[in-house]
Every structure is written in structure tokens, then in C-alpha cells.
Amino acid sequence: MKNMSPADSTHLPLTDKPLATSEPDRKATPEESRFLVSRRAVGLAGVLGGVLGFNRPVAAQASAVPTPETPSGTTVIPVAGSDGVKQATLTVQFVNQVILSAEGKQVVAQAIGFAESGGTTPGPTLVFYEGDQVAITVVNHIDQPFAIHWHGVMVPNSQDGVPEIGQPTPLIPPGGSYTYRYQIVQPAGTHMYHSHVDIRTEMLGLTGGFIILPKNNTGPRKYDRDVIFWLHEWNLPQDLEPQIVVGNRIMANPALRDRPYTGSVVDTVNSVTAKPNWQVMDFNFTTMNGKAHPSHSPLQLRLGDRLRVRFFNIGMNTHPMHFHGQNFFHIAEDGVDLKQPQEMNTIEVAPGKTHDILITATNPGIWPLHCHLAHHQANNFSSGLAGMLFVINIT
Ligand SMILES: [Cu+2]
């Protein structure tokens, strides 16, 4: 984007022109000034925050590609062997996933996870680079066969992971393993991996993120931090008494009506360890990277930081993810950069989709990034704010 007019200045963080500098006390460029004063909907605090943010480096080095982070999870950057092939291993096993740990209570889902992510789901976020030759060995330690589908990744038919339709792709038996081999032939972007055999396996957690990074940070979208948020839904049996039951569906908990609001995030949640029921739509727990609020630690940002957020959804519901305090830019969908990034504050993440957004921290404060479905802002319909919510603290 050359010869940019002031009207275009809200899109400045997405231009090819590097904004980054490591000079600690430099003056803002005219373009940066236009961007900051043109920010809408952030209020005076946001504008002031943006001005203050000038005095901090936007990115340490313009050429560095930040390593994706997986809050409460694991990121794996495979290393090339002597043959130049990047190698990774995914060991699939039954796990006890602690999706909520707060106020002395634990909610544990008997799920499917990965040894490499410490026995949790989602699995480790795999990070490759454009052009990489990859070899990913998948080991089956559960009691049923499955195959891994590389969702959005352009692989040969034999590596696609859907044997039930006759693809020449292997079914990995219990106790067996298979090494998927292919070359990354597409540009950098955000993708997924998940089981494509027996829907139970993917609903119970046989999933993970797959990110292709550019070899050099020469693209138009500079950022300092890169985080992934895997969106997941769970139905777990919970002791809700008294409750209103219509058919077999819990409609409300009348205890909440007659009790003053306590603000407790787990006030109707008991400790439980159970198999999730994958056959229903009334999920009572929702998680980001396998944990429900308030089990996460807040993400800390400094004014001026540019945060790339990658959303993943392979579940049953679309999650309208909303951020408070300032807008963000939608920069990519299904791993493909948008030609015209869109400024917004809520993005719908439908099943099967990945979306990338860019948040430039201009408004100091403690802000929630959360799903806007009401039930997904609670743990088991409790009154406190919880569920699919992550706190971002901008200082
Ligand atoms: Cu949701």
C-alpha cells in the first residue's frame, strides 16, 4: 500500500512498510501519528495509551518471526535431521484433562490427548516453515484405530487421513504408528490437525494446531507476539440441584434466581471426573486451550505490542469471539491472508475454521477476550463469568 492517504491510516499496521524499531526513545513517524490519532472507539485512554506506546519498540527486530505461543499448552518447532527433514512425534493417549481448577474444585474430563503436550488436549502446536519437508510420526496408544487429517494443509492424497472413503491413507491401529511425510507447498498460514476417523475421537480431544511460518518476516503483517486459542466444548455430568429438567435437558438452575449474586465463578460447580458426553448439544463447559476461565493466567501485553491471535474450532458451535476496550483487525481466514483486513471487535469462529486477528495494544487495562454465547461465559451455568474467556492485561 503506497501513497497512503490519511483516510487509510487505520490500516497502517498491516502495510509492507516496517514500523518496527529498536530505538527506545525515537519520535513517532507521521504515519504512526496518523494511525494513533485515528484510532476509533478506544476513547481518550486508548489514544493516550497509544501515544505512550510510541516510546516502546514495536518489534525488537523487523526480521524476526515471533515463535507462536500456546498459553497453558505446548508449542513444538521440529528440527531437521541429517537428511534435512523436520521431524515431530505425536503420541495419542487417554488423558485426564483438568479443564477447571479453581477455589479448591477440579473438573476433569476423561479425554484423548498427547504425551508431547504433557498429557493434555489440544496437542502440541506444530510449527513448520514454508517449503519444509516434514515427517510426523503418529503413535496410537488408545484402544481404537484412527488417522490424522491435516486440515487446510495441501498434502498428497495418501497423507490426507480419511481412510473410510477409500483414500490410500493408512488407518493407524491400536499399538501401531505411521509417519506422515510431505512437503509444505503453500504460503504461511494457520491450520489444524485432527482425527478424521470416528467423530468421538476429535470431540474428545484428538486435535491440535498446525502453523506454517514464513522463512523471513517480510510479510505485510508485523507482530511481536503470536498466541493460539483452541476453542473446545464439553458436556460433563454435574450435580445441579434443584434444577429444571425438560426432557433430558437442563433448562435452568432455579437456585440462582433466589440467591444474591456472589460473583463466584464456580458457585454451582462441584469437583468431578467423568467421560464427556459427546452426543448432546448442551455443552456445560467451554475451554480455550483446554482450560476454562479462571484456570488461565492472564496474558500480559505492553502498550504498543502487536499480538497475533490464531483461533481454531473443530467443535459443534460457532463461537463469536469478542474483545473489549479496542478493535482488532481480522487478517487471515483458513490460513489465507485477507487482501483487505477488516477492523472489528467480534469475530465468528465456525467449526472447521481458523481465523487470525491482530490486536495492537493501545488501551491499558484488564480486558476479556471471550465467546459471546451466554452459556459459553459460564462454567456449568454458574452465575460468575467463566468458561470460554481469557484475560489480556495491557500495561
Ligand atoms: Cu462459544
What mean pLDDT value characterizes the chain?
A: 81
- Ligand 1 centroid–CA 232 distance in Å is 8
In this structure, the answer to whether residues 58 and 138 fall within a common structural domain is no
- The string of pLDDT tens digits covering residues 209-244 is 999 999 876 655 789 999 999 999 999 887 644 344
Are 317 and 374 in contact, with CB atoms under 8 Å apart? no
Average pLDDT over residues 53-62: 38
Could you give the CA distance from residue 208 to residue 197 in angstroms, rounded to a whole number?
Answer: 15
Which uninterrupted H or E stretch holds 181? strand 177-183
In a domain, 148, yes or no: yes
- The string of pLDDT tens digits covering residues 289-300 is 999 998 889 999
- Ligand 1 centroid–CA 54 distance in Å is 35
pLDDT for residue 103:
72
In a domain, 21, yes or no: yes
- Ligand 1 centroid–CA 320 distance in Å is 6
Give the E-state strand segments of 70-176 in sequence order: 75-76, 79-80, 86-102, 105-114, 125-129, 133-140, 148-151
In this structure, the answer to whether residues 89 and 22 fall within a common structural domain is no
- Ligand 1 centroid–CA 370 distance in Å is 8
pLDDT for residue 37:
36
Tell the residue number behind the cell numbers 467451554, with chain if given.
Answer: 286
- Ligand 1 centroid–CA 81 distance in Å is 41
How many distinct structural domains can be found in the chain? 3
- Ligand 1 centroid–CA 313 distance in Å is 10
In this structure, the answer to whether residues 111 and 52 fall within a common structural domain is no
- Ligand 1 centroid–CA 194 distance in Å is 20
Query: Can you name the residues that pair with 123 across neighbouring β-strands?
Result: none
CB count, 10 Å around CB of 57? 17
- Ligand 1 centroid–CA 230 distance in Å is 11
- Ligand 1 centroid–CA 319 distance in Å is 4
Residue 166 has pLDDT above 70, yes or no: yes
Domain range for 258: 236-275
In this structure, the answer to whether residues 58 and 99 fall within a common structural domain is no
What global pTM score does this model have?
0.80
